[in-house]
Amino acid sequence: MELLVRYVYPVLLGYAKANIIFYLKIGEDDEIAKPLNKQSIPLTFDDGTPISKSEIYASVYRSILKLIEIYDGFGVVRIAIRAHFKDDINEPPPFKEELLEEAISECIKPASGEIDITNLPVKNLSKT
């Protein structure tokens, strides 16, 4: 969630989606890239209204648990995020470190459960 908070949420304008990629260590020198989900996770509704961070967090958490079941015993080498935006974005404003704790705490508030992100349609976007 910290990657989303630092690099994606500050530039959210219009429809956006993202996927989190886990790089797992296999063998001595090899690694594989595994996206958290087959499809990107919508971060906004179709009209560009942001989906609450707690709902996104709950969805990401459930997906991570599934990934752990499948790849139990593999080491995570690194984590990346791939974000897709409907509109062009400018360089993000500088992130203020003092806001990180507050932004992360928004993510871990209990989700309402009213939104099942896995059932939301994911738009195809040409811009990344």
**Residue of 64, 86, 65 whose CA lies nearest to 17:** 86
Rounded to whole angstroms, the Cα distance separating 65 from 27 reads 23
Task: Say whether pTM exceeds 0.85.
Answer: no
Cα distances from 91 to residues 42, 59, 80, 95, in angstroms, run 21, 27, 18, 11
Count of Cβ atoms closer than 10 Å to residue 83 Cβ = 20
What's the pLDDT tens digit per position in 32-81? Answer: 999 998 888 999 998 889 898 888 888 899 999 999 899 888 889 999 99
Is residue 81 within 8 A of residue 18, CB to CB? The reply is: yes
Domain ranges of the chain: 2-88
The pLDDT, as a whole number, for residue 93 is 67
